[in-house]
Structure 1
Amino acid sequence: MRRLKIFITNKQTIIGLCILSVLLVFAIFAPVISPGDPLFSKGAPIQRPNKEHIFGTDNMGRDVWAMIVWGSRISMVFAFGAAGISLIIGVVLGALSGYIGGVFDDIMSRIFEVFYIIPRTFLIILMVAIFGSSVTLMVIIVGATIWPSNAKIMRAQVLTLKSRTYVQAAEVAGGKRLSILFRHVVPNGIGPVLSNSTLQMAQAVLTEASLSFLGLGDPSVASWGKILQAGQSHISSAPWLVIIPGIVIALMLLAFNLLGTALQMTLNIKQQLIE
């Protein structure tokens, strides 16, 4: 409870949660906030912000406000979906690698390194080009390529914790190794992994925006990257097409980074108290 209070009262946590809450409201209540299809042309192309279109329109007459609101839903799906997949894969493989050790640990460590060596952006683009650009598939692809950092952090935590007295006592008492690992070791070492996962949420959002900007996003959904793509050739005549989505993306990245930093600071305080 003390750690939770420290985390919640942190100024970075408060700012991050406020920004994230607004974007979550957009994502959850998009059909209410902006009814209709956001990809449907609702006005003349390249209109400046006005009473009818508060963020103006893009080169196809689509309302930028509607695309911002509905785009928040896609960004949230990527943030929590890809980071969730990365968290599960990273925790399981990293924990098994550190706890089992020996040859298995050596093999898994080499696998982690291979994934680090492969250019992640190129791999994601290649996979999307081969298998398609549906939101679900893209979330899985992104999550399946960013997990090695979680695995390495979890492995390091397990290597430190598996020699603790309570773990050895559980082993002496005849507990099954997997049960000991996931009931006693992982819960006590998952904090830094969760902190890293918040940063991966920001990474997933940026990846989705980049893919959409390159024209590799799902064509059936609204995305902040699509607004940037539409604005790249009109940056001098319609700067709002670049500025507005750029600010929104920056705010979401800021929110996740603030939460990750606050969580890491809380974990550091906990470690200092233990020492």
Structure 2
Amino acid sequence: MGAGAPVPEPRGPGPRALARRRRRHSAARFWRAYRTRRSGMFGLALLVLLALLALTAPLTVGAEVRSVTRATGGPMEGPSGAFWLGTDQFGRDLCGLLVWGARVSLMVGLLAAVLSVAIGAVVGVTAGHFRGWYATVVMRVTDWFLVMPTLVLAIALATVLSRSLTTVVLAIGVTTWPTTARLVRAQTLAVESRPYIERARALGGGHGHVMSRHVLPNVMPLVLAQTTLGISGAILAEATLAFLGLGDPTVTSWGGMLQDAREAGAVSAGHWWYLVPPGIAIATVALAFTLCGRAVESVLNPRLGATG
């Protein structure tokens, strides 16, 4: 390089690096605010514990706990040192079944809630952006789903389709999205009334650019809060469908355990150890997700105030 050649100035971080840095800072601010919500931290601790139990079930209790031919206890034995929660009508350890059932209940609840929120977000964003006849037709369909009993629609779908976990996820997901669609559409209308949306359109931004770059990032906090709140409802819906005999009979879930207890006559026989643990597990995980969802909602929407 010659003596008279200009020295290049050091370049700063690129747009992608800046975007990643902003996301990290936003996540750090969110976590600092979330930690101040005691109820949210309590719900998160419960979820972490349940997730660890579900993930380690193949190592801690083993898949053979679900086998009828490998049962090691007698039918309907009460709680004891060998079987902490007693046994079912086949002699299987109910404690092991409860831990194994957490895998199915949590997975179905999470997938169904994600599907429901994804449908609601797409419908809400497009209806709020395009307006006109499209929004009118879509929102009338949404209103129809809102006035119809969700459980009845889910039962109808689960009855028509084959009995599997995929059917349960679809039945819950495609019947519980209207509330999210309504909320996301209202947020989309509020976002698109801001001046920078007009500037983006004036600079040549198309529909896809406006929705993906400007509208969607602003509605994502609402979508995240709806997801955490919807998981608890999805788990309760899965338990209800399984209790009604519309779940997958080849898998073990908490709702399926309640169905098996009903068929085995545990209610009339007073075998409380067969009924109470699955019910408490369903209520606990629903409470944990609700606490987390409320905490997330209060962090993302400061107008709700610090309620932790």
TM-score bracket relative to the smaller structure: over 0.9
**Kindly, what percent of the aligned residue pairs are identical?**
35
Q: Residue 118 of structure 2 aligns with which residue? A: 88
Q: Distance in 1 between matches of 2:31 and 2:135?
A: 34
Instruction: Determine helix, strand or coil for the equivalent of 1:190.
Output: helix
Q: Residue 167 of structure 1 aligns with which residue? A: 197
Matches within 5 A, 1:1-275: 1=26, 2-41=29-68, 42=71, 43-232=73-262, 233-235=265-267, 236-269=269-302
Paired AA for residue 118 in structure 2: I
Q: Distance in 2 between matches of 1:79 and 1:225?
A: 12
Query: Residues 45 and 58 of structure 1 are in contact (CA less than 8 Å); yes or no, is this contact kept in structure 2?
Result: yes
Query: Residues 129 and 216 of structure 1 are in contact (CA less than 8 Å); yes or no, is this contact kept in structure 2?
Result: yes
Gap runs ≥5 in structure 2: 1-25
Instruction: Determine helix, strand or coil for the equivalent of 1:187.
Output: helix
Aligned residues: 272
Q: Distance in 1 between matches of 2:292 and 2:145?
A: 26
Query: Residues 99 and 162 of structure 1 are in contact (CA less than 8 Å); yes or no, is this contact kept in structure 2?
Result: yes
Q: Distance in 2 between matches of 1:271 and 1:74?
A: 34
Paired AA for residue 49 in structure 2: V
Runs of 4 or more consecutive aligned structure 1 residues displaced over 2 Å after TM superposition? 1-4, 36-39, 229-233
Query: Residues 109 and 238 of structure 2 are in contact (CA less than 8 Å); yes or no, is this contact kept in structure 1?
Result: no
Query: Residues 58 and 227 of structure 1 are in contact (CA less than 8 Å); yes or no, is this contact kept in structure 2?
Result: no
Q: Deviation at 1:271? A: 7.9
TM-score, normalising length: structure 1: 0.93
TM-score, normalising length: structure 2: 0.84
Q: Distance in 2 between matches of 1:37 and 1:171?
A: 61
Paired AA for residue 94 in structure 1: G
Gap runs ≥5 in structure 1: none
Q: Distance in 1 between matches of 2:119 and 2:209?
A: 18
Cα deviation code 1:161-211 (max 9, x no counterpart):
001122221111111211111211111122223212222111110111111
